[in-house]
Amino acid sequence: MAADIAEQPAGFARLLEGPHADAIAGVAAEIAARRPRNVVFVGRGTSDHAALYGAYLAEIRLGLPVASASPSAITLYGARPDFTGTLVVGVSQSGGSPDLTGVLSAARETGALTLAVTNNPESPLAKAAELSVDVAAGHERAVAATKSYTAELLALLLLVEGIRAGDGRLPDAERAALAELPALAESVLADRTADEIAQRYRFAPHMVTTGRGYAYPTAREAGLKLMETSYVPTLAFSGADLLHGPLAMTDTDVPVIAVVGDGPGGKAMGDVLTRLGERRADVLTVGPRGRLVVPAVDERYSPLLDILPLQRLALALALAKGEDPDAPRGLKKVTSTL
């Protein structure tokens, strides 16, 4: 897991230049030419959190209605929704789960433009889709996904911005800003604060993660990493949902990880932090002014950096508890569901 985490800056650089960048631009141009009226995402686990990030991008940057597919409606109940005019995007590290492939196959049969975003370009998911994007994360050693997650995020960002541009080519200013991501990721990973903080949470019975807007997928992914590597029950909420009831369970014994970046999402967390303070909650903040410091960047880019110290936290906490984060109990790298 440590090796996978360390390879993420190189993964960013790989997607931003050369044949992988050109391939993504070509797919983005094809989608733009087809002019979908709406977007439906489908994914499981970590990849579902990447899909959620893609949903925010598509709604905010493309102005398209976005929904999340319910695979069981198609694979268990035999539903065949009319996907005419819809871009259906399957996001999967392995591309091997039958339910995701089933959704893309059914969607393609009923009029959708289908796209697979996966780390395995030869997978059933990629073969079922009309278009596919290789996130090029390379072989992931640990069961818990890290580098494939951030590669999915960056691929989705490049796709959406390429669709927005119309021809798949990003403006020069955007390209220049994105080119800084590998070095910024290196600087975040060089900070060992997360390793030190992990000792503080060794005996936490459960935890809460929260964020708003682009930070919400980060909160959900951080919660999953803590559960699957350290076995700490962790509830993830948007900042807004946390105030609608779950806030009542927070107190000094319930650590809360709050992702607070710049932009509208971070500003909206101000009231959440105030209310958590009134509850005397144990709050760990992640962001430009957080205890886990992440550089201030465009809010769209923040999820690619914010998750890095939280991956390190999950790794360090698992080790502090005497667990093996590379092989979580009961889990396999590829999970097949229907």
d(Cα 273, Cα 282) in Å, to the nearest integer? 11
29, part of any domain: yes
Residues 260 and 166 in one domain: no
- With respect to residue 327, please indicate whether it lies within any of the assigned structural domains: no
Distance CA 328, CA 318 (A): 10
3-state secondary structure of 46: helix
Residues 159 and 296 in one domain: no
End residue of a domain, out of 165, 182, 199: 182
- Tokens at residue 260, please? 């607070």
Whether residue 208 is found in the same domain as residue 307: yes
The one-character DSSP state at 285 is E
CATH of residue 29: 3.40.50.10490
How far is it, in rounded angstroms, from Cα 126 to Cα 131? 8
Sequential pLDDT tens for the chain (338 residues): 999 999 999 999 999 999 999 999 999 999 999 999 999 999 999 999 999 999 999 999 999 999 999 999 999 999 999 999 999 999 999 999 999 999 999 999 999 999 999 999 999 999 999 999 999 999 999 989 999 999 999 999 999 999 999 999 999 999 999 999 999 999 999 999 999 999 999 999 999 999 999 999 999 999 999 999 999 999 999 999 999 999 998 989 899 999 999 999 999 999 999 999 999 999 999 999 999 999 999 999 999 999 999 999 999 999 999 999 998 876 665 666 76
- Is the same domain home to 148 and 275? no
The Cα 221–Cα 332 span in angstroms is 18
- On whether residue 336 sits in a domain, the answer given is no
For 32, 33, 96, 107, 324, the CA distances from 90, given in Å and listed in that order, are: 18, 20, 11, 11, 30
| Contact (CB, 8 A) for 78 and 65 | no
- Residue 240 has a pLDDT of 95
From 236, 278, 232, select the one nearest 258 (Cα to Cα).
Answer: 236
Question: Quick one: 148 and 12 in the same domain?
Answer: yes
Instruction: Look up the pTM and report it.
Output: 0.96
Residue 18 placed within a domain: yes
Structural domain contains residue 116: yes
Among candidate residues 133, 154, 182, the one where a domain is terminated? 182
List C-alpha distances in Å: 41 to 54, 118, 258: 8, 13, 26
pLDDT at 327: 84
**Measured between alpha carbons, how far is 191 from 270 in angstroms, rounded to an integer?**
25
Residue 338 lies inside a defined structural domain of this protein: no
| Same domain assignment for residues 60 and 111 | yes
DSSP E strands, 109-260: 113-118, 131-134, 207-211, 234-238, 255-259
In this structure, are 94 and 202 located in the same domain?
Answer: no
Looking at the structure, do residues 307 and 253 belong to the same domain, yes or no? yes
Report yes or no on 101 lying in a domain: yes
CB 55 within 8 A of CB 41: yes
Quote the domain boundaries for residue 154. 2-182
Please report the pLDDT score of residue 334 as a whole number: 62
Say if 334 falls within a structural domain.
no
Q: Show which of 182, 212, 235 is a domain's final residue.
A: 182
| Neighbouring C-beta atoms of residue 19, cutoff 10 Å | 10
H-helix or E-strand containing 91? Answer: strand 86-92
Is the domain of 159 the same as that of 273? Answer: no
**Are residues 149 and 266 located together in one domain of the fold?**
no
Whether 17 and 35 map to the same domain: the answer is yes
Q: Are residues 39 and 160 in the same domain?
A: yes
Number of domains in the chain: 2
